[in-house]
Structure 1
């Protein structure tokens, strides 16, 4: 018979059909691994603020407020502090009942020039649409945010683009969310109405103490003007603690701050999370060395037109050009207004 066919020599074992064995697969070198980790970190750093922003936007509370008046140059924010305490509530001297506001702040960012944060004393004598001459905070009692916005627009000549209302009780939560703030006051205070107990100087305070600091009026020789100064100081201290660099590495602090802020604030129907961020930046600019803070020109702190008790009367000649300069950004940085001398 035939000799047996030669047997084929065995082939060397090759890689499996699925690819190289695990030992032969390329490994990430340290540099490449660092690049991948860096890329993932970049994605997280971008995605986290976006997600936080979307979450914050969904938590914002809204209320009708804007008048729909024709735009004026720049961006104007109106902030009202609403306090449901009752020690100053009820029926006012002018006979009005309803919700009151102790804090009314106008924040204006001009197209060019310094940002201005102007405190409008709550007892400012103004023309309230549909009601005639009365105190500014009566507009809030009679018609809530919409009437307050209309009244402020008539007083200042500036159209309000965004409205924010803060429940003063929520201030404590915001202060605690940023880890407390440092506040300064030169007087010794033991005021049972506000709860403010203070020794002269600067102190680190928590939310409860900060709220008392912002509420105190009767023990302040400057009354509402002095309270407005302390409220602006508190806002500046909170905004200074909300630095992007400090919060970037503290996601928990970011969440706590957003949660406290959205719980304390109510905005007009058109305001979104980006507008809130711009508002915070505007506060920071106004309280910085290139900003403007203060009051409109005041003629007297004890104007008595009859029927409404003592009111704050603005300087009739100086007030219109003052607000025109705020609008146009032509005022120099620094403090403005205050209690008139003498």
Structure 2
């Protein structure tokens, strides 16, 4: 029987294990497979094993930046919208408009009263039954915006009450009768009624940090409390209010007072429009709180209408706007029964207010 030679393990020849055909077919680099020398796609190097998928750091940073930008945009949009909603809910509304047909021009009747001890219009907005400032702010479709002051002692016909000074209409029938009287007198339709507690102007001036006012008068007026030397001075709320109220120490009387009232409101508007105020949320809340506490408006006027009023006022008090009073025939007219009154030129009044409505009004400088 032939012998079988058994060799030690460490002396046995190594056996080569050949890969199966199916395995060969799956591996790049073998003959007939892409990546093998001579086959399309071969780079001359052995293929690298696939890398583990990872999110690039730049992509993660980009997503974070997008989230931050989106949050900022939401805040920028939500703040003014929320502020408008809050402010709209703070407005005091009263019955005032007559319901007369509208006209092309947008007209605001601004009635200022200094009869409120605290300068606000909370509670009964007609308490005190007196209006000392009457202004027509008009923004026509084209032409000049205007701010026309009607002296409170102007002698007019008051519907249902005969002739009297125009501010008596407020005492007799509140805002509604004042609106009807102004419409009959001017031939214009009042679209918005805004009543301003002049005492509230003091808080508003303080809220904007004071305003610069100018006058050539030398005044020490006991009734208004104004002490003034000629020139321009920075005024706080108390001084600005006295500046707007004073008339007995003014040679122009009520006409001079209406001019100073316009100056005060213009100064406040300019201060409010400064970029530092517009981008300061705290200042915005303070201004709206002070301003809205001093206002009462008709039932149809909202916060957006007040915004348009501010733009119209800015246009009227700007270089292309017109400011002044109707043509006056007599500052000391005495028809009997009402004391001294202001008489507007009867023949010129209708033409004057027609030109206010169409934007062609002009005021001769004195």
Change (3 A) 1:247 1:32: farther
Alignment of structure 1 residues 82-121 onto 2, 5 Å: 82-84=113-115, 99-121=129-151
Contact 2:146–2:321, Cα closer than 8 Å, also in 1: yes
User: Is the counterpart of residue 141 in structure 1 residue 174 in structure 2?
Assistant: no
- TM-score, length basis structure 1: 0.85
C-alpha deviation, 1:143, in angstroms: 0.4
Deviations 1:178-218 (A, max 9, x none): 11110001111111111111111001111111101000010
Contact 1:172–1:206, Cα closer than 8 Å, also in 2: yes
Change (3 A) 1:197 1:244: closer
C-alpha deviation, 1:238, in angstroms: 0.5
SS of equivalent to 1:313: strand
Rounded Cα–Cα distance in structure 2 between residues aligned with 1:31 and 1:106: 55
Structure 1 unaligned spans of 5+: 1-13, 87-96
User: Is the counterpart of residue 168 in structure 1 residue 198 in structure 2?
Assistant: yes
Rounded Cα–Cα distance in structure 2 between residues aligned with 1:42 and 1:282: 30
- Determine the structure 2 residue equivalent to 1:280: 310
- Determine the structure 2 residue equivalent to 1:197: 227
- Determine the structure 2 residue equivalent to 1:330: 360
| Aligned-residue CA RMSD (Å) | 2.3
C-alpha deviation, 1:46, in angstroms: 2.0
SS of equivalent to 1:317: helix
C-alpha deviation, 1:37, in angstroms: 3.5
SS of equivalent to 1:73: coil
SS of equivalent to 2:220: strand
Rounded Cα–Cα distance in structure 1 between residues aligned with 2:236 and 2:59: 50
**Aligned residue pairs, count:** 308
C-alpha deviation, 1:232, in angstroms: 0.3
User: Is the counterpart of residue 259 in structure 1 residue 289 in structure 2?
Assistant: yes
Rounded Cα–Cα distance in structure 2 between residues aligned with 1:162 and 1:58: 18
Deviations 1:251-304 (A, max 9, x none): 100000000011000000110010010011111110000101000010010110
User: Is the counterpart of residue 81 in structure 1 residue 95 in structure 2?
Assistant: no
- TM-score, length basis structure 2: 0.79
User: Is the counterpart of residue 125 in structure 1 residue 128 in structure 2?
Assistant: no
- Determine the structure 1 residue equivalent to 2:90: 59
Larger Rg: 2
Rounded Cα–Cα distance in structure 2 between residues aligned with 1:168 and 1:269: 21
Between 1:245-254 and 1:38-47, the stretch displaced more is 38-47
Deviations 1:118-149 (A, max 9, x none): 00000000000001110000000000100000
Contact 2:219–2:228, Cα closer than 8 Å, also in 1: yes
Alignment of structure 1 residues 27-38 onto 2, 5 Å: 36-38=67-69
Change (3 A) 1:98 1:134: farther
Change (3 A) 1:28 1:266: farther
Between 1:193-202 and 1:246-255, the stretch displaced more is 246-255
Rounded Cα–Cα distance in structure 1 between residues aligned with 2:342 and 2:364: 13
Rounded Cα–Cα distance in structure 2 between residues aligned with 1:72 and 1:157: 10
Between 1:41-50 and 1:267-276, the stretch displaced more is 41-50
